[in-house]
Amino acid sequence: MKRHFQLLLKASPDDLVIITAFLEHAYDRAHAGPDRITRPLA
């Protein structure tokens, strides 16, 4: 986990935006009901 955090610290602002959007999407998918999931994870 610490290594992952160090990678985040080295990330550029643009990378952080992409990572944040991805995490929010993953969180939504993880907490969505089966009827909300329209396609399998790639």
Asked if the structure places residue 16 within a domain, the reply is yes
CA atoms lying within 13 Å on the CB side of residue 5: 2
Sign of the Cα torsion 7, 13, 40, 29 reads positive
Asked if the structure places residue 15 within a domain, the reply is yes
Determine the pLDDT at residue 35: 64
Show pLDDT as tens, one digit a residue, over the chain (42 residues).
Answer: 567 667 667 778 888 888 899 999 888 888 776 666 566 665
Q: How many domains does the chain have?
A: 1
Determine the pLDDT at residue 8: 65
Asked if the structure places residue 8 within a domain, the reply is yes
Determine the pLDDT at residue 16: 84
Determine the pLDDT at residue 29: 81
Give the C-alpha separation, 20 to 3, whole Å: 18
Asked if the structure places residue 37 within a domain, the reply is no
Domain residues for 20?
A: 1-30
Backbone angles phi, psi at 36, to 5 degrees: -85, -20
Determine the pLDDT at residue 34: 64
